[in-house]
Structure 1
Amino acid sequence: MPKVLIIGRYVLFFWMGENGEPVHIHISVKRAEANATKFWLLSNGGCRLANNNSGIPDKDLRKLAKAVTLNHTLICRAWCEAFGAESLVFID
């Protein structure tokens, strides 16, 4: 599970083997976990919450969504490197 960013106590990461899905990032507290929160990245540079399986508080979710948006390019580049993708697929 490649870690992409660490923001405070949250780790943002990819699960390997999910390269068939549109670009997304998982977030959990301190380490990668199976029941992580998931954000889809959007083609316009934003993001959309897919689920909050890890139960991150709303205040933190808003901050994390902003961080995902601000790091959209970095996350997309890391996705291409991790999965060997030549092009990106978004949900929108």
Structure 2
Amino acid sequence: MPTVLYISGWRLFFYSNEGSEPIHIHAQKADMECKFWILSEEVDIKEAFSYNLSTSGRKEVRKIIFKNFDLIVDSWNSYFNK
């Protein structure tokens, strides 16, 4: 389970067996968890699912993902040899 980033209590990661899926990132903080699709061509994200994610948590993690968009895409491509 490669971790891309720890920031503000959030752990952003992906699972090593998910290379056949489109680029995405999981985020976890306390009992909140979510997954966002990374739309690299559009430089956008789309929520795939969330569990116990508060409105403020959603805003916070979206901001973190956008600030680290290139790092997430590069980490995914590097790990999965894309």
Q: What's the TM-score, normalizing by structure 2?
A: 0.87
Match of 1:28 in 2: 28
Q: Unpaired segments of 5 or more residues in structure 1?
A: 86-92
| Matching residue of 1:50 | 48
1:1-92 alignment, distance < 5 Å:
1-29=1-29, 36-42=33-39, 43-53=41-51, 55-85=52-82
**Richer in strand (by share):** 2
Q: Post-superposition shift, 1:60?
A: 1.4
Return the alpha-carbon distance in structure 1 between the equivalents of residues 13 and 65 of structure 2. Answer: 11
- How far apart, in 1, do the equivalents of 2:44 and 2:7 lie? 18
Aligned residues: CA RMSD: 1.6
Could you tell me which amino acid in structure 1 is paired with residue 24 of structure 2? H
Counterpart Cα distance in 2 of 1:45 and 1:68: 11
TM-score by length of 1: 0.78
Q: Percent identity?
A: 31
| Per-residue CA distance 1:4-62 (angstroms, 9 max, x = gap) | 011211100010110111000001126xxxx9410011122121111103x12111111
Q: Which has the higher contact order (CA 8 A, sep 6+)?
A: 1
Count of matched residue positions in the alignment of Structure 1 and Structure 2:
80
Runs of 4+ in 1 over 3 A off after TM superposition: none
Q: Contact 2:33–2:53 at 8 Å: present in 1 too?
A: no
Gaps spanning 5+ residues in structure 2: where? none
